[in-house]
Amino acid sequence: MYKVTPTELGKKVDFKLPDPAFFEALGEEGIRALMYDFYDIIYESDIASFFPQDHEEFNEVKEKNTKFFIQLCGGPKYYEDISQGTNLNDYMIKIHDDFSIYEKSRLEWLGAMKEALSKIDIAKELKDDFWNYVEAFSKLTVNTKVDGVKYYHDL
Ligand code: HEM
């Protein structure tokens, strides 16, 4: 549970979208609660400086992130007005390209997700399945090497 493997820039990342049973177990409100808690943890984390410091702006990102995850997990397509027909995976990589995300930042992000997930009460298999998605997909958000060189991913 909560295994993390290192990102190898340039290596193809295989990932599988979360099992619809995750959405069925949590429901829309359960996913919202999970994502709000996750972002509250992010706000206190070492990657807080990546995000808007203004509370209202931060809440907007929190809400967009929640809409994304509800859609991704098989719920209503709340994020479609934001991604505007672009493939969700491509859109996510593009959004993160505006930031210099290091492997260390990914590990901090995953640490916050682990903390939030560990508090919810659903079957371990469903958490593992969701974790496998974030663990793998987060590799595609890593775009900066320690020497500062930027890296652009293809799917
Ligand atoms: C599974 C991996 C990840 C997913 C699915 C994900 C998803 C998202 C989503 C949905 C948004 C909101 C985009 C919008 O504005 O519509 C977002 C924004 C953002 N994410 Fe991620 N994220 C992931 C990993 C990471 C990691 C590892 C970092 C590391 C720092 C990160 C940093 C950010 C930042 C800085 C923003 C934008 C904040 C702003 O708009 O000012 N994300 N992410």
Rounded to the nearest angstrom, the distance between the alpha carbon of 71 and the centre of ligand 1 is: 15
Please check whether residue 4 lies inside any domain of the structure: no
Residues 6+ apart with CB under 8 A from 100: 143, 144, 148, 150
Nearest alpha carbon, ligand 1 atom 6: 92
Please state, rounded to an integer, the average pLDDT across all residues of the chain: 96
Please check whether residue 125 lies inside any domain of the structure: yes
Encode pLDDT of 66-98 as tens digits.
999 999 999 999 999 999 999 999 999 999 999
Please check whether residue 54 lies inside any domain of the structure: yes
Give the whole-number percent of the chain exceeding pLDDT 70: 100
Encode pLDDT of 29-54 as tens digits.
999 999 999 999 999 999 999 999 99
Please check whether residue 57 lies inside any domain of the structure: yes
Number of domains into which the chain is organized:
1
Please indicate whether residue 141, judged by its CB atom, sits closer than 6 Å to ligand 1.
yes
Burial of 30 (0-12, 13-18, 19+ CB in 10 A): middle
Please check whether residue 98 lies inside any domain of the structure: yes
pTM of the model: 0.96
- CATH code of the domain containing 105: 1.10.490.10
Nearest 5°: CA angle at 54, between 102 and 104? 15
Range of the structural domain that residue 125 is part of: 20-141
Alpha carbons 42 and 133: distance in angstroms, whole number: 19
| E strands, the chain, in order | none
pLDDT of 148 above 90: no
Please check whether residue 95 lies inside any domain of the structure: yes
Please check whether residue 132 lies inside any domain of the structure: yes
pLDDT confidence of residue 111: 98
Nearest alpha carbon, ligand 1 atom 3: 138
Alpha carbons 141 and 61: distance in angstroms, whole number: 16
Please check whether residue 128 lies inside any domain of the structure: yes
